[in-house]
Structure 1
Amino acid sequence: MTALNRRALLGGAAAMAGALSLGGMPARAGAPFRNSLPPAWHRFRLGEYEATIVSDGRLPLGQPEPAFPASPPAELRSLLEAAFLPPDAATLEQNALILNTGRQLILFDTGMGESMGADSKMFGPTTGQLLNNMRAAGIEPEQIDLVVLTHAHNDHCWGLTDAKGQRVFPNAQVAVSEADLKYWTDDNNKRGPDFMKVFVEGAKKNLSAYRDRLVMVRNEQEVAPGVVALATPGHTVGHHCYAITSGNQVMVNTGDLAHHHILLLRKPMWEFAYDTDPKLSAQSRSRMLDRLATDRLPLLSYHFPWPGLGHVARAGDGYDWVPAPMNLSSLG
């Protein structure tokens, strides 16, 4: 559409609006603005399993440059603008998976929660919606048998306890890698970036509440029937993806393998500010993305646009994100 055509279209729309308001029937805006979002949950079949994705809310990063400190700012802006995204405000989603195997109800990651008071809102007021959205989907926290953590960062494990340090999932075991458990509960790791102190304190508070219920995750071994851990270290020392298999269907829960569906797919070797080992993280990301694209495996990404389901396809030196249709009843 040319600039002239756009002007004509906008002018015509304005004229129509004026005609409607100045005619015999005055224009009214009697309905109030709601200023609220509906519950965010999405349910589908994965083989014989039932899967439900619940949102913990949006996680705004703000200006993207601090989150991608080694990336050329002009290239950041160009990639975002080409994808019709604001170049000055990067936003991530938080897509938590609940898997009903018929024998267990398994939650993957817990969102930001409320355990750390004001620090739980360090990325703004839109996080911490997991429990509300779970209940809207008909699932109570008492029903969760196992919480599987992709890693022990704040937006993945701080929802394990409430503000008083009480278990939010009183009947659940918690699966986490031994490497992450040791790293994120070690006070010696509070040094470095400013966020490290509160990240360690939050992990200690949340994980220690389940110290008698911890299950250690091991690479290429099951944490539950049909759920196999895949080590992808770098974002944290013990970050894992999880391959979920039921019948002839497979889906990979990629956790924080890639945070942004444009920037870290098109540029998989770019570094992310919250990576413990940025270079190792980029290597793990590149290796797993190649596997997902080659094997054409569907995936769930924790931070990609809601509800985070889709495929990655090769595009030059990087990848494209191909979201799955929202009306799907199963994921093939």
Structure 2
Amino acid sequence: MTLSRRAGLGLAAMGLAAPFMAAPSMPARAAAPFRNQAAPAWYRFRIGEFEATVISDGALPLGKPGDGFPGAPPAEMNRILTDNFLPTDGVVLEQNILVLNTGRQLILFDTGMGESMGNDSRMFGPTTGRMVQNLRAAGIEPAQIDIVAVTHAHCDHCWGLVDASGARVFPNAQVAISELDLRFWTDDANKRGPAFMPIFIEGAKRNLNAYRDRIIPVRDEQPVVPGVTALATPGHTIGHHVFAISSGGRTVINSGDLAHHHAIMLRRPAWEFAFDSDPAQSARSRARMLDRVATDRHALLSYHFPWPGLGHVARQGDGYAWVPAPMNVTGLG
């Protein structure tokens, strides 16, 4: 009997495969060590003609929910957290730093905790202070930043202006901040009240005074640069501002600390936050701006909401709901 060429090739292939098929199975070995390292965290998208990049300074653990939101009824707090599939024994915020490329300038919004205050820079744990490394991972050098726009002078927003030696992290940048916050948080006379005030004042002095010769005053409804307008939202601090970024018919509100938590403070905008200078005024500013954002259907970039902090605010009952933007968006309205 004569075998066809195709059949012969098939038998040959089976013969070649036979030794491998007959070999005993080898156990898999997990020889690679655990990395235990976070991946570089940056995210890029468009706002009209502008290019926006979100940089992470790392997670910011606040501790027990009752510590951060002292006036909240515990049962209702637990319900809100549980309904949002969040743990009830601790609250963790993000630090979402925006870099805006307008085509003419690079503007950085807030700076994270940084390293300027030594051990105090880790008061919220070891996960903060990653802004510079993530900035570089996104292809941006600190020396390229033209303006640092500071929403307010708290530690997690301005302590990254100088390094551990006191040198400017952004050697070519001007700093845009409200005159009210600049004066208040660099005045030793304000080291009173809550226990955190003395170190917050010292940190603001160390970081902001290094840029005293290059301060740009931020004022309500006034542009910082073309396409970026400051909007006063006082209460969290005396001079807290958010920034409306508009280009090509699109607007994104960079909201700073208007609302710290995507579930708690949107569902209950009137609740007090422990680090508010004036909780009642802060609640009024929050209600006013959330209503505006929801009505106008503008996108929101929140400093403390889940990474990368980008999405929309929708009305829900007597409060609001957070609607994260899809991570593949190229632009937001």
> Normalized against structure 1, the TM-score is what?
0.92
Q: Which amino acid aligns with 2:242?
A: C
Q: Distance in 2 between matches of 1:262 and 1:270?
A: 12
What is the aligned partner in structure 2 of residue 142 from structure 1?
143
SS of 2:160 mapped into structure 1 = helix
CA distance in 1, matches of 2:38, 2:160: 21
The equivalent of 1:19 in structure 2 is none
**In structure 2, how many angstroms separate the alpha carbons of the residues matched to 1:249 and 1:283?**
26
**Distance in 2 separating the partners of 1:221 and 1:163:** 34
Pairwise mapping of residues 169-318 of structure 1 onto structure 2 (< 5 A)? Answer: 169-318=170-319
Q: Aligned equivalents of 1:39 and 1:146: distance in 2?
A: 23
Aligned residue number for residue 128 of structure 1: 129
Whole-angstrom distance in 2 between the partners of 1:171 and 1:156: 19
2:59 is aligned with what amino acid?
A: R
What corresponds to 1:41 in structure 2?
42
Partner amino acid, structure 2, of 1:147:
V
Structure 2 SS opposite 1:119? helix
Aligned to 2:8: none
User: Does 2:321 match 1:329?
Assistant: no
Bigger mean CA deviation after superposition, 27-36 or 177-186 = 27-36
User: What code does the residue aligned with 1:96 have?
Assistant: I
Q: What root-mean-square deviation, in Å, do the aligned CA atoms of Structure 1 and Structure 2 show?
A: 1.1
Matches within 5 A, 1:54-73: 54-73=55-74
Report deviation, 1:26. Answer: 3.8
Percent same amino acid at aligned positions?
70
- Render the CA deviation track for 1:195-225: whole Å, top value 9, x for unaligned: 1000000001100000000010000000111
Q: Match of 1:325, SS?
A: coil
Letter aligned with residue 265 of structure 1: L
Shift of 1:164: 1.4
What code does the residue aligned with 1:306 have? W
Amino acid at match of 1:153: H
Q: Distance in 2 between matches of 1:115 and 1:231?
A: 27
CA deviation vs aligned residue, 1:35-57 (integer Å, no higher than 9, x gap): 11110000011111110000000
**Separation in 1, partners of 2:328, 2:239:** 34
SS of match in other structure, 1:209: helix
Deviations 1:33-89 (A, max 9, x none): 111111000001111111000000000011110110111111111110111100011
Q: Structure 1 CA distance, aligned partners of 2:318 and 2:160?
A: 37
Deviation at 1:25, TM superposition (A): 5.4
Distance across 2 between alignment mates of 1:206 and 1:265: 31
Opposite residue 185 of structure 2, the aligned amino acid is W
SS at match of 2:255: strand
Q: Per-residue deviation at 1:24?
A: 5.4
User: In the aligned structure 1, how far is the partner of 2:57 from the partner of 2:207?
Assistant: 17
User: Which 5+ residue runs of structure 2 have no aligned equivalent?
Assistant: 1-23
**Tell me, what secondary structure is at the counterpart of 2:262?**
coil
Stretch of structure 1 that moved more, 136-145 or 182-191? 182-191
**Residue 88 of structure 2 corresponds to which residue in structure 1?**
87
Distance 1:167 1:24 in 2: 60
Question: 2-side partners of 1:26 and 1:242: how far apart?
Answer: 57
Query: Matched residues in 1 for 2:75 and 2:28: separation?
Result: 45
Offset of 1:31 from its aligned partner? 3.0
Aligned partner of 1:17 in structure 2 is none
How far did residue 331 of structure 1 move?
1.7
C-alpha separation in 2, matches of 1:79 and 1:116 = 35
Residue 156 of structure 1: how far off its partner (Å): 0.3
Question: In structure 1, what residue type is equivalent to 2:84?
Answer: A
Output the CA distance in 2 between the equivalents of 1:54 and 1:174.
18
Structure 1 residues 111-122: aligned runs within 5 Å: 111-122=112-123
1:12 aligned partner = none
For structure 1, which runs of at least 5 residues remain unmatched after alignment? Answer: 1-22
> If you compute each CA radius of gyration, which structure gives the higher value, 1 or 2?
2
- After superposing on structure 2, the runs of 4+ consecutive aligned residues of structure 1 that deviate more than 4 Å are none
Deviations 1:107-166 (A, max 9, x none): 000000000000000000000000000000000000000000000000000000011111
Question: Which residue number corresponds to residue 320 of structure 1?
Answer: 321
Equivalence for 2:99: 98
Determine helix, strand or coil for the equivalent of 1:29: coil
Letter in 1 for 2:286: R
Measure how far apart 1:27 and its partner are: 5.4
Q: Residue type matched to 1:207 in 2?
A: L
Residue 20 of structure 1 corresponds to none
Q: How far apart in 2 are the matches of 1:301 and 1:117?
A: 27
